[in-house]
Structure 1
Amino acid sequence: KTGRGTDIILYIDEENEAFLEKSKIESLLDKYCKFLPVPIVFGKKQEWKDGKYVDTEEDNVIND
């Protein structure tokens, strides 16, 4: 590893696949991590461009 940070690996069985949806993960991170004093990053921010959402270079900070 070249820098600081934590990688989290989850093993999900078939009956809990709903936890793999981006919106579900974001809601859980918002609920349980918004009070933390360090930034929690999940993916990249998106913007509407040419009729669809595209990722930007900016990190999506959940507890900003």
Structure 2
Amino acid sequence: MFSLTDITIALDGWQDVSRNSIYSFMALKEEYEHILDIIDLSANRHTAVFLQEKIEKK
């Protein structure tokens, strides 16, 4: 694992073939990438506040 300094928290969202909103939450540090979670957020509005709350829970 890595220390908790110099980490970038990132997310990427896309739609699958059924038009579900899928999001990947990642922690990035230099050349290291750790996927925290991949979740279906189709039932939710994708506001900045909502996504921030999801990141904080990871």
Q: Is TM > 0.5 for Structure 1 vs Structure 2? A: no
Which of these two proteins has the greater Rg computed from alpha carbons? 1
**Greater strand proportion:** 2
- TM-score normalised by structure 2 residue count: 0.30
Q: Which structure shows the higher helix fraction?
A: 1
